[in-house]
Amino acid sequence: MSYYKMIDVSDKLTNKRIAIASGKIYVGEPVFNLIRNNQMIKGDPLRLAEIAAIMGAKQTSNLIPLCHPIGLDKVEFINELVESDFAVQVYCIATTSAKTGVEMEALAGVTTGLLTIYDLSKISEPSLTISDIRLLVKIGGKSGTWFNPQINVLPSWIDQYIPKPINLSAINFATITLSDRAVTGVYADKSGELLQQLLSECGATSLGYYLLADDAQALKYKISELLNNRMSLNNPMGTSNPMSAMLNLIITTGGTGIAERDIVPEAILALGGREIPGIGELLRIYGSKFTSFSWCSRSLACVVDNILIIALPGSSNAVREGVECLVQILPHLIKMVQGGNHD
């Protein structure tokens, strides 16, 4: 029986991951001044530490037994002279596109950089202290963006690495769930509720939530009704800017499979709009990262009377993945549908 094992990451998604680590070495006033004035006997420890940090990050899996070998997209090493402590503060930023995190590489880069400064400084001062090696931030993967809870203040330059929140405030949407069993109360409409929640969390405004049976005529009637009433859905009399409440997105969930009652694609296309083939392809490709059943979906997107209509599968997982997939491009799609400038 083995006491150790590498974690199996074969089922994880490959995505961009970033880790930022830091550490500090206290060198004392004499050595600090030598470093600052570039007068160290063995050469400039700060420049050599940058090279060493990159080499250390690249060798992490060879040094840490259970650490996965990963390809590094970027390693950056930053050092700052802290005169108040007669110390050197260092940071290592490691970036990868992989199935597992890159925090060990960032920590290895910091450690190797600090040890290099130690090695070049010990000839002038043997009493040196390395401390506070720790992970500050990690980005990507299941946990999203993680900040070390023990750190109260981070350097301002770290902001450039933090993903900016998605802003869908210019989007007014309505959702339609197609499900015979949800209509009859066999189970709750979790996917429709989740769709409303996810879009609202990104700043979009909900103008309606509808639950229908798997019926083509009912779906076409509801979409037509939304198209005809787009300016009055959530626009009380006397509102100074009626355009602010105009519906510009309809998303359906359910009815995109290949069963006899899965009628959503046909019903939407029968409205006579322009299909956007790439959106359906994108949804299936993205969904296939999570399940091969994604290829059985007939998800689609089309434009009907200057309204973007997107059909997603009916499971909660598919809805979550669909929103994750589309959220970056939805503002651009809406802008183009509404007559924005062509790129």
Could you tell me if 168 and 331 are in contact, meaning their C-beta atoms sit under 8 angstroms apart? yes
Side chain identity, residue 61: S
The one catalytic residue in 119, 180, 215, 305 is: 119
DSSP helix/strand/coil, 112: helix
| Cα within 13 Å of Cα(223), Cβ side | 32
Tell me how many degrees the CA angle 216-331-176 measures, rounded to the nearest 5: 20
CA 50/CA 90 separation, integer angstroms: 10
C-alpha distances in Å from residue 52, one per residue of 27, 75, 99, 129: 19, 11, 25, 19
Active site residue 119: yes
Q: In what order do the strands lie in the sheet with 172-178?
A: 205-212, 172-178, 249-253, 307-312, 300-304, 274-275
Side chain identity, residue 268: I
List active site positions.
119
